[in-house]
Chains A and B, each alone.
Chain A
Amino acid sequence: MNVMTWALALIASLVLSMAVLSPAWAASGAAATATKPAKPVTVDIRDFAFAPKTLTVAAGTRVVWTNRDDEPHVVVSAGNQFATSRALDTSDTYAVTFDRPGTYTYYCAIHPMMVGTIIVQ
């Protein structure tokens, strides 16, 4: 082992021991996340499309769809992974909080060629 490898090993073990041996530090980190959730992220429904079409968010994020079209739209999970919205008329919104990581494909029940994806990390 050369000096560089030793240094890396030392840093790695220090980081590891901090995580394992300092539950207070870890807990305070988690609490900070829980009390300060990420701001809601918006998806616009405009011109018969979801914008952005693919959205990546952190777990716990609230996603809010807003219909900007004169046509109604309905947000439906392709795999029945979250509840279906009511018919969203112009300016109506619908929100879902995504707690679990995963890929959520959804579409419009009335215009099924409209497809979007939420990636939760």
Chain B
Amino acid sequence: MRDIEDHGTEGRRHFLKCMAWAGAGTLWMMQGGVLRAQPLTAKGAASAADASFGFVQISDSHIGFHKAPNMDVAGTLRSSLAMIQAQKVQPDFVLHTGDLTHLSRPEEFDTLAGIMQDAHMGKVFYVPGEHDMIGDNGAEFFRRFGERQQPGGWYSFDHRGVHFVGLINVLNLKAGSLGSLGADQLAWLKQDLTSLSPDTPLVVFAHMPLWPLYPDWGWGTDDSNEAVSYLKRFGSVSVLNGHIHQIQQKVEGNVTFYTARSTAYPQPAPGTAPAPGPMKDVAPNDLHRYLGIRDVRHVQGSHALAVTDEVMA
């Protein structure tokens, strides 16, 4: 830490403050690869109002889960969507970073689709989690929620100057492995980014963390280094993941990695329990503190992405 402070710039000191505020209602700004933060005050709200557009990330809805600490994951998903609707400025779209369902059952997919439809969510981009792949390698998921751009299910799109890439790292997993992208997807990613100028802001999203967050619990992706090597020439890269049901961040050059909260239940911090899995002991009254959504705003002209994590009220 001291080393960072000694050689630090104003931006780095801001970054350290950010870490202290992580998950406590902080507006995250990424400018030129340096994270800056401010508490959610009037000033923050003003910055958000200036943004040219925003989107929301939700994750890990686990429809079908019905145990402690959450007997009503459909209800907490509805609450999450209500938080989106309560935003002053409506997001252009929603990203769901996987584990829509708990067991890939058709009725679970039905429930999720119904809840999204009832909430009039508009366009939602999905990537699958490993819980959506059970028994059929994701056939049901892709049939209902796939973007159908590539045979493997991964895709990209441009939205108001920002390039978005949806990756799939939960298919063809091998014994003893973490998440995996595979050679075909990596080749596609390299090609997909080739024609882009380095000042194009990138948002890359996938279910499992695209960095070795905690491999002992399977929290990482075996070939993520290769993918990240393609991202390094860009000035502003945000990587959004789910899977671990809590907020974790990491900065590597101009690439910032974020994991999101779940809309269903929290998991323990890395290494603080014998194994991952639902934190059963969270009291019903406290559950909402562990669940939430993430707002991301792109500020025109500054190439900044403002990332705000909100817990349920």
Binding site for B on A (CB under 8 A): 47-49, 69-72, 74, 76, 78, 86-87, 89-90, 105-107, 109-113, 115
Contact = CB atoms under 8 A, between A and B. Distances in A.
Given A89-B103, A110-B134, A48 B175 contact: no
A6 B276 CA distance: 65
Closest 6 CB pairs of A and B: A107-B175, A47-B275, A48-B275, A112-B173, A113-B218, A78-B175
A113 B177 contact: yes
Given A87-B103, A87-B135, A112 B275 contact: no
Contact of B134 (A48, A107, A109): A109
A72 B62 CA distance: 11
23 contacts: A49-B275, A69-B275, A70-B68, A70-B277, A71-B276, A72-B102, A72-B134, A78-B175, A87-B104, A105-B175, A107-B176, A109-B130, A109-B133, A109-B134, A109-B173, A111-B130, A112-B174, A112-B176, A113-B177, A113-B215, A113-B218, A115-B175, A115-B176
Interface of B: 67-68, 102-104, 130-131, 133-135, 173-178, 215-218, 274-278, 280
Contacts, number: 67
A105 B103 CA distance: 24
Given A48-B276, A112-B177, 5 more contacts: A70-B278, A110-B134, A112-B175, A112-B178, A113-B177
Nearest to A89: B103
Contacts of B216: 113
Contacts of A109: 130, 133-134, 173
Contact of A71 (B174, B178, B215, B278): B278
A37 B102 CA distance: 37
A113 B274 CA distance: 15
A87 B131 CA distance: 9
Contacts of B104: 87
